[in-house]
């Protein structure tokens, strides 16, 4: 077939042409007024049978049973599915029965979008149904949905291949409508967080995505070129340094839901483009921020589920306050039996090898400790847990601990074996910050391609004075995975990054 269309696609295009020949616009420009959703009818009609006697609804045909002069159709709209009863003499009240006999029975297909007006009743089988009084074609579908049978009862193929689902998310949401519920919950989650922060009068802001220097995290950036300025720019890996500039500028609390980009590996927990919420509050510290995180995430769980207990895989995770707390050294000793406090780099490298933790020559003390924690501790922290007081080498932007030499005031919240958020008492000493940046430059010379760069303008901002500040970065994608019991980050992103699609030619 030279057209490149499948047999079913050719049939649908022929139907399209026949509709046009009959004077029916398969893509009409007119507004179709919808006054109700399927889920609303199913929720309220049983309690009051006088409701919905002038119903106008639109959606996609998902199945149909044609029985001569009458048919049953399953219609799917944004909220769910509902049955339609379509009778020839009702939608074609005059002599001309073309709309039913030709258009409805022969030229419409599963996947087509239609509008219906009519009234609601209950069939003898007890199913809530809309009796159609008029039918309007709103959009002709030219590709068949992945179903076994098209013209009668629809039986859907197992549309479960992750690559196809993620590439064709629109099709995934049609065939697997429960997928849409994940993204509805994601929206509720974000709004819950935003409402919580707004109630505290913190200001939502926007900072640059294209940055002349990347900073605020240990990660490899994406690089681009600005033609007009003839300069290299980077997609941000974090927005921390810009938000701190706003604290210097006089705001007491700022936050941003930011798209960040890291040029790193992809797996079920990582996508090169992801969403974080970062928050900075003046005159606070990391102990205060721990209480805010507990309170905010507990609220999100209640807003989504009505309970603090959330099923995540085989585990029941409880976000009720207070959460457990361990220092970094305490949790490593708990899981390995080894106290690494005060150990030099060479000895830490030996301990890592003894524990079969993979390291390489580019890793300094901080990264070795992080590797040990990530391999031997993090996967076993299922209930939400704060890990506090990190070695200074791991945290170039955090303030030195007020009472423990060699540590910084930092915490991460770990849940279901993965980091949920990261927070510091922010370093506001410009001299100490410059020294930390310079140490990062030395790590870069050793081959650490995730080390931070030195940002002179940020140091200049600190020299004007930044008040004591608590900062927080919380991963929206990770939190959504947990709150929706999703196994992969790709399941909570509408359009995750994919390898180029293979196309068959010839």
pLDDT tens digits in sequence order for the chain, 506 residues long = 446 899 999 999 999 999 999 999 999 999 999 999 999 999 999 888 889 999 999 999 999 999 999 999 999 999 999 999 999 999 999 999 999 999 999 999 999 999 999 999 999 999 999 999 999 999 999 999 986 454 455 665 667 778 888 999 999 999 998 999 999 999 999 999 999 999 999 999 999 999 999 988 888 999 999 999 999 999 999 999 999 999 999 999 999 999 999 998 888 899 999 999 999 999 999 999 999 999 999 999 999 999 999 999 999 999 999 999 999 999 999 999 999 998 999 999 999 999 999 998 888 888 899 999 999 999 999 999 999 999 888 888 999 999 999 999 999 999 999 999 999 999 999 999 999 888 888 877 777 766 778 899 999 999 999 999 999 999 999 999 999 999 999 999 999 998 887 764 43
Match 């939502």 to its residue by tokens: 204
Q: What's domain 7-157's architecture?
A: Beta Barrel (2.40)
What was the pLDDT predicted at 394? 84
The two three-digit tokens of residue 192, written as one number: 């819950």
Phi/psi class of residue 68: alpha, beta or left (left: φ > 0; alpha: ψ in -120 to 50)? Answer: left
Residue 7 burial (C-beta neighbours within 10 Å; 0-12, 13-18, 19+) = exposed
Tell me the torsion sign for CA atoms 385, 391, 394, 398. positive
Angstrom distance (rounded) from CA 165 to CA 496: 10
Cβ neighbors of 473 (< 8 A, separation 6 or more) are 238, 240, 276, 277, 278, 421, 422, 423
Q: What's domain 179-323+383-492's architecture?
A: 2-Layer Sandwich (3.30)
CATH 2.40.50.140 domain position(s) in the chain: 7-157
The two three-digit tokens of residue 171, written as one number: 């099709």
Match 């196809």 to its residue by tokens: 164
Cross-strand pairs, 226:
231
Angstrom distance (rounded) from CA 277 to CA 255: 7
Longest dimension (CA), the chain: 93
Helices 178-199, 476-483: axis angle to 10 degrees equals 120
Tell me the torsion sign for CA atoms 73, 78, 80, 82. negative
What was the pLDDT predicted at 506? 38
Angstrom distance (rounded) from CA 296 to CA 324: 16
What was the pLDDT predicted at 413? 98
Give CA separation, 111 vs 76, 86, 114, 175, in Å.
10, 17, 9, 10
What was the pLDDT predicted at 503? 64
Q: pTM to 2 decimals?
A: 0.89
CATH 3.30.930.10 domain position(s) in the chain: 179-323+383-492
Q: 353 and 359 in contact (C-beta within 8 Å)?
A: yes
């Amino acid at each position: 077939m030279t057209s490149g269309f499948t047999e079913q696609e050719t049939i649908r295009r022929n139907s399209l042409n026949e509709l046009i020949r009959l004077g029916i616009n398969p893509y009409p420009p007119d507004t179709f007024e919808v006054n109700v959703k399927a889920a609303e009818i199913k929720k309220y009609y049983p309690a009051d049978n006088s409701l919905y006697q002038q119903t106008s609804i639109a959606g996609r045909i998902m199945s149909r049973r044609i029985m001569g002069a009458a048919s049953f159709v399953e219609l799917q709209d944004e909220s769910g599915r509902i049955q339609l009863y379509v009778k020839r003499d009702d939608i074609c009240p005059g002599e001309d029965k073309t709309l039913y006999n030709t258009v409805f029975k022969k030229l419409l297909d599963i996947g087509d979008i239609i509008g219906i007006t009519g009234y609601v009743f209950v069939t003898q089988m007890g199913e809530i149904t809309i009796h159609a009084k008029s039918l309007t074609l709103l959009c002709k579908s030219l590709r068949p949905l992945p179903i076994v049978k098209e013209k009668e009862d629809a039986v859907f193929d197992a549309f479960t291949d992750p690559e196809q689902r993620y590439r064709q998310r629109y099709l995934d949401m049609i065939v697997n409508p429960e997928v849409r519920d994940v993204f509805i919950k994601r929206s509720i989650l974000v709004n819950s967080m935003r409402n919580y922060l707004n109630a505290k009068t913190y200001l939502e802001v926007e900072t640059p995505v294209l940055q002349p220097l990347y900073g605020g995290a240990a990660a490899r950036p994406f690089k681009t070129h600005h033609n007009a300025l003839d300069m290299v720019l980077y997609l941000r890996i974090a927005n921390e340094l810009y938000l701190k500039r706003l604290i210097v500028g006089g705001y007491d609390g700022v936050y941003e839901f930011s798209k960040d980009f890291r040029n790193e590996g992809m797996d079920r927990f990582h996508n090169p483009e992801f969403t974080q919420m970062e928050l900075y509050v003046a005159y606070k510290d990391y102990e205060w921020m721990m209480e805010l995180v507990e309170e905010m995430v507990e609220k999100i769980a209640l807003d989504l589920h009505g309970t603090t207990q959330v099923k995540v895989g085989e585990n029941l995770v409880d976000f009720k306050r207070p959460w457990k707390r361990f220092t970094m050294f305490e949790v490593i000793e708990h899981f390995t039996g080894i106290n690494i406090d005060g150990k030099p780099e060479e000895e830490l490298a030996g301990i890592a090898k003894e524990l079969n933790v993979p390291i390489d020559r580019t890793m300094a003390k901080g990264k070795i400790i992080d590797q040990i924690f990530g391999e031997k501790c993090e996967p076993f922290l299922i209930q939400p847990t704060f890990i506090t007081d990190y070695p200074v080498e791991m945290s170039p932007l955090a303030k030195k601990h007020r009472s423990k030499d060699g540590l910084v005031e930092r915490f991460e919240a770990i849940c279901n074996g993965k980091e949920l958020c990261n927070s510091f008492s922010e370093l506001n000493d410009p001299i100490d910050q410059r020294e930390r940046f310079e140490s990062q430059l030395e790590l870069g010379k050793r081959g650490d391609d995730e080390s931070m760069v030195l940002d002179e303008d940020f140091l200049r901002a600190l020299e004007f004075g930044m008040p004591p500040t608590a900062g927080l970065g919380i991963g929206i994608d990770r939190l959504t995975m947990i709150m929706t019991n999703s196994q992969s980050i790709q399941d909570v992103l509408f359009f995750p990054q994919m390898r180029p699609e293979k196309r068959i030619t010839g």
